[in-house]
Amino acid sequence: MQHQRVLILDFGGQYNQLIARRVRELNVFCDLVPSDISLKEIERYAPIGIIFTGGPNSVYDENSPKIDRGVFELGIPVLGICYGCQLMAYMLGGSVERATTSEYGKVEVSYRSSLLTVDMPASAVCWMSHTDRITRLPAGFKMLAESNNCPYAAFGDEKKKLYGVQFHPEVNHTFKGSVILKNFLYNVCGAAGDWTMSNFVASQIASLRERIGDKKVLCAMSGGVDSAVAATLIHRAVGDQLTCVFVDHGLLRKYEAEEVMSVFRDGLGMNLIKADDGEIFLGKLAGVTEPEQKRKIIGEQFIRSFEKQAKAIGKVDFLVQGTIYPDVIESGKGKSAVIKSHHNVGGLPSVVDFKEIIEPLRDLFKDEVRKVGFELGLPKNVVMRQPFPGPGLAIRIMGEVTREKLETLRDSDYILRDEIAKAGLDDKIWQYFTVITNSKTVGVQGDFRTYENVVAIRAVTSLDAMTADWARIPYDVLEKISTRIVNEVKRVNRIVYDITSKPPATIEWE
């Protein structure tokens, strides 16, 4: 079944992925595409509605992104947000002026009644972020909201189904912002709300069955949410035709490898092969202290380990990749500076003998992947698993990775996770883990002097790991964690708490 689709044209604003996520949360499928898409491609996509995002430009900038005027003649409803609404007003003959002061932050607007503003209060707070403003509407348009500084905070031509909002309905600071998006989707575009995760699972299983037929599929399972959900979907579709390989590099958290085997092999009955290569990885890491070198060694050995298993399995037809929608969007953009060389299974295709790549999650945002995971009956500890770096605990041990340090790190990390869960904070903190610093300090235990490791606690809140803030864990929870670690874990006599945000620090220590 083909679901209805909304097309979001990306004019470069910072909240653009958020708009797409909000639309999806309202059960309407959408795609975010660069704004230079041609009119023909728009028509071919056949959206039920089009949204123009915000962007950093002024419509008067020489190189500011524009759009083919024909988009307004297609009879498809359009909602312009921020820059998108200015562009709409400008291109249809209204006036946009450079204001001397910007309007930024929470602003009170009063709404008029219209299809776009159904269920909105007479006045409410919204989130503004603009310099230019619209001073005259194009012919046929009506004002639908105003603020002190902004005579046309929202406007629309109900006949042509063209609407604009100067503020950001996708941001939480806009009171009932998603009601505005919902009104656009349902009242203006006539959405049916056919994008649900149970529909997705049903249609994806049917199409995977058709595509795979009786052929063989191979999947690298990391224990992470994406590979777990991708593998489970495929397993539902074709059962034993799928073989998963799980490389245990000996750098996982306490009990993690056992959990993966118990959920997927014992619980779901998956054909899951575990490569127990911890000794090989540790051997290659011996004496290595430089972070980038550690990453490279682990990345390369990971491929070798996978390759060895894949060779034993023989030729397969499909290789599964856990690509998700943000990767698809990002890959269209320019590359930024490499801060850390991330090791992912992305390097696999060239070394494995397969015919095609299969990416069952490439249309989904992370929160949708999690919903699909629950829909498939996966347990919470798998679906809500916090992000975990490919090189594992090796980049949480400063300096050389040794068996002793791994044991200390695993035990301290286990206590941290236990106490965070007991305090009910596990859903609120993006990532939390312990780090073994490269320092030893003097302590006193019983009547004896000790000279042991300093363990750091790292806990951050974040939306997407691009930026992060240190989590404000209550002192009494920190106290419990600290007391338990120094008492229960060998070779630790001091705990410190990392209170740096990203930037300037990164989330991981290496």
Please state whether beta strands 318-320 and 217-221 pair in parallel, antiparallel, or not at all (unpaired). Answer: parallel
Query: Is residue 108 within 8 Å of residue 124, measured between CB atoms?
Result: yes
Q: How far is the CB of 431 from ligand XMP (least distance, A)?
A: 6
From CA 325, how far away is CA 255, in angstroms rounded?
Answer: 30
Q: How far is the CB of 251 from ligand XMP (least distance, A)?
A: 11
Is 347 a residue that touches ligand XMP (CB under 6 A)? no
Is 265 a residue that touches ligand XMP (CB under 6 A)? no
* Catalytic, out of 103, 170, 375, 508: 170
Query: Is residue 6 within 8 Å of residue 193, measured between CB atoms?
Result: no
Binding mask 395-434 for ligand XMP (x = CB under 6 A): ------------------------------------x---
Number of residues that bind ligand XMP (CB under 6 A): 16
Sheet of 162-165: strands edge to edge? 29-34, 5-10, 49-52, 78-81, 162-165, 154-157, 142-146, 103-111, 123-130
From the number of C-beta atoms within 10 Å of its C-beta (0-12, 13-18, 19+), residue 119 rates as: exposed
3 is catalytic: no
Is 360 a residue that touches ligand XMP (CB under 6 A)? no
Binding mask 277-316 for ligand XMP (x = CB under 6 A): ------------------x---------------------
Is 328 a residue that touches ligand XMP (CB under 6 A)? no
Q: How far is the CB of 167 from ligand XMP (least distance, A)?
A: 31
Is 507 a residue that touches ligand XMP (CB under 6 A)? yes
Q: How far is the CB of 292 from ligand XMP (least distance, A)?
A: 10
**Preceding amide of 504 cis, omega within 30:** yes
Quick one: which of 142, 209, 308, 342 contacts ligand XMP (CB under 6 A)? 342
Mapping DSSP to helix (H, G, I), strand (E, B) and coil, where does residue 415 land? helix
Quick one: which of 132, 170, 413, 508 contacts ligand XMP (CB under 6 A)? 508
Tokens 């008492």: give the residue: 487
Q: What is the dihedral of CA 250, 256, 257, 263, to 10 degrees?
A: -170
Q: How far is the CB of 438 from ligand XMP (least distance, A)?
A: 17
**Given the rule CB under 6 A, which of 2-10, 144-152, 212-220, 337-345 is the region that contacts ligand XMP?**
337-345
Is 500 a residue that touches ligand XMP (CB under 6 A)? no
Quick one: which of 149, 178, 344, 402 contacts ligand XMP (CB under 6 A)? 344
**Given the rule CB under 6 A, which of 58-66, 256-264, 319-327, 383-391 is the region that contacts ligand XMP?**
383-391
Q: Which amino acid is at 208?
A: L
Is 389 a residue that touches ligand XMP (CB under 6 A)? yes
Q: How far is the CB of 467 from ligand XMP (least distance, A)?
A: 9
Q: How far is the CB of 343 from ligand XMP (least distance, A)?
A: 4
From the number of C-beta atoms within 10 Å of its C-beta (0-12, 13-18, 19+), residue 363 rates as: middle
* Catalytic, out of 130, 168, 235, 249: 168
Residue among 138 and 389 whose Cβ is closer to ligand XMP: 389
Q: Residue 72 has which token pair?
A: 């307004």
Residue among 295 and 385 whose Cβ is closer to ligand XMP: 295
235 is catalytic: no
**Given the rule CB under 6 A, which of 63-71, 77-85, 110-118, 335-343 is the region that contacts ligand XMP?**
335-343
30 is catalytic: no
Is 465 a residue that touches ligand XMP (CB under 6 A)? yes
From CA 105, how far away is CA 189, in angstroms rounded?
Answer: 29
Q: Which residues of 28-39 are buried (b: 16+ CB within 10 A; e: fewer)?
A: bbbbbbebebee
Q: Residue 427 has which token pair?
A: 């859903």
Instruction: Supply the DSSP symbol for 9.
Output: E
Name the nearest CA neighbour of 222 among 86, 79, 391, 474.
391
Is 390 a residue that touches ligand XMP (CB under 6 A)? yes
Q: Which residues of 454-478 are buried (b: 16+ CB within 10 A; e: fewer)?
A: bbbbbbbebeeeeebebbebeeebb
Is 247 a residue that touches ligand XMP (CB under 6 A)? no
Is 387 a residue that touches ligand XMP (CB under 6 A)? yes
Residue among 84 and 390 whose Cβ is closer to ligand XMP: 390
Quick one: which of 21, 249, 343, 458 contacts ligand XMP (CB under 6 A)? 343
Residue numbers 173-232 binding ligand XMP by CB under 6 A:
none
Could you write out the DSSP letters of every residue in 124-160? Answer: EEEEEEES-EEEEPPTT-EEEEE-SS-TTSEEEETTT
Q: What's the full length of the chain, in residues? A: 510
Q: How far is the CB of 508 from ligand XMP (least distance, A)?
A: 3
From CA 54, how far away is CA 13, in angstroms rounded?
Answer: 5
Mapping DSSP to helix (H, G, I), strand (E, B) and coil, where does residue 497 land? strand
Residue among 242 and 345 whose Cβ is closer to ligand XMP: 345
Q: How far is the CB of 417 from ligand XMP (least distance, A)?
A: 15
CA 333 to chain centre: 16
Residues that bind ligand XMP (CB under 6 A): 295, 339-340, 342-344, 387, 389-391, 431, 465, 502, 506-508
- Residues annotated as catalytic (active site), given as ranges: 82, 168, 170
